């Protein structure tokens, strides 16, 4: 049986965090958003961005990685919300490349994120998920979310609002 470790990302994890995000975006989002939105998803751009995210972490986000040994397999980020909409916390992102999906990593990352955010006093949470990202919507539903029909238009694609009114009722 695989044993995975969930731990906060360190500065040294920046290159592998960038690799995870770039790979995930290209294998999952290519069919869901215009090609131009993926243009900045390169290692040249994302490695320095992840270095900045982890080192500065201006929003004090919870940045977690799922590891198998020393290998990073997936990342999640959550915490202070980007918008005021009545929900305490935002799940900013979850990125697990296609080759590592459906191995339980998302559940582990999600549960640890919710546990830590609850400890910090967050009671509810939201995120936006691309309409048509069926796998992710099914995953969040399995994690106790309500997938609303509130649709927000972005540049070339649209996103659905996904909510947890009470984090105590999420999957953990
Ligand atoms: C969405 C994501 C985080 C889920 O992580 P994961 O590791 O693949 O999911 P898990 O293996 O932990 O799945 C847990 C449960 O969620 C549900 N689920 C997960 N993926 C699913 C899918 N593609 N279809 C249907 N149900 C799914 C199942 O109930 C699953 O339990 P089971 O495997 O026992 O049936 C991951 O697939 C991912 O990063 N996708 C690409 C990027 C993305 O879309 N991120 C979300 C942006 S909003």
**Contact predicate 170/114, CB 8 Å:** yes
Long-range CB contacts (< 8 A, 24+ apart) of 55-60?
Answer: 55/11
Ligand 1 pocket test target in 139, 141, 159 with most atoms within 8 Å of CB:
139
The pLDDT score that the predictor gives to residue 172 is 58
CA of 27 relative to ligand 1 center, distance in Å:
14
From first to last of its 172 residues, the chain has per-residue pLDDT tens of: 679 999 999 999 999 999 999 999 999 999 999 999 999 999 999 999 999 999 999 999 999 999 999 999 999 999 999 999 999 999 999 999 999 999 999 999 999 999 999 999 999 999 999 999 999 999 999 999 999 999 999 999 999 999 999 998 776 5
Q: Is 107 in the pocket of ligand 1 (CB under 6 A)?
A: yes
CA of 103 relative to ligand 1 center, distance in Å:
9
Residues in CB range of 139: below 8 A, 6 or more apart:
106
Backbone angles phi, psi at 22, to 5 degrees: -60, -45
Question: What CATH number is associated with residue 21?
Answer: 3.40.630.30
DSSP-assigned states of every residue in 58-119: TT--EEEEEEETTEEEEEEEEES-SS-SS-SEEEEEEE--GGGTTSSHHHHHHHHHHHHHHH
Containing structural domain, residue 42 = 5-169
**Contact predicate 154/170, CB 8 Å:** no
Counted domains in the chain: 1
Six token digits for residue 84: 């005021």
Q: Is 123 in the pocket of ligand 1 (CB under 6 A)?
A: no
The pLDDT score that the predictor gives to residue 57 is 95
Question: What pTM value is reported for the model?
Answer: 0.97
Six token digits for residue 75: 């990342």
């Amino acid at each position: 049986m695989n044993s995975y470790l969930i731990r906060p990302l360190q500065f040294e994890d920046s290159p592998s965090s960038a690799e995870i995000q770039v790979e995930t975006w290209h294998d999952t989002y290519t069919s869901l958003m215009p090609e131009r939105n993926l243009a900045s998803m390169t290692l040249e751009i994302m490695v320095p961005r992840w270095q900045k995210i982890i080192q500065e972490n201006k929003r004090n986000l919870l940045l977690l990685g799922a590891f198998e040994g020393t290998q990073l397999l997936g990342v999640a980020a959550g915490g202070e919300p980007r918008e005021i909409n009545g929900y305490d916390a935002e799940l900013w992102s979850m990125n697990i490349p296609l080759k590592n999906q459906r191995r339980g990593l998302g559940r582990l990352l999600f549960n640890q994120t919710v546990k830590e955010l609850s400890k910090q006093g967050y009671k509810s949470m939201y995120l936006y998920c691309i309409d048509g990202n069926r796998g992710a919507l099914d995953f969040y539903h399995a994690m106790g979310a309500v997938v609303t029909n509130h649709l927000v238009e972005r540049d070339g694609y649209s996103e659905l609002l996904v909510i947890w009114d009470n984090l105590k009722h999420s999957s953990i």
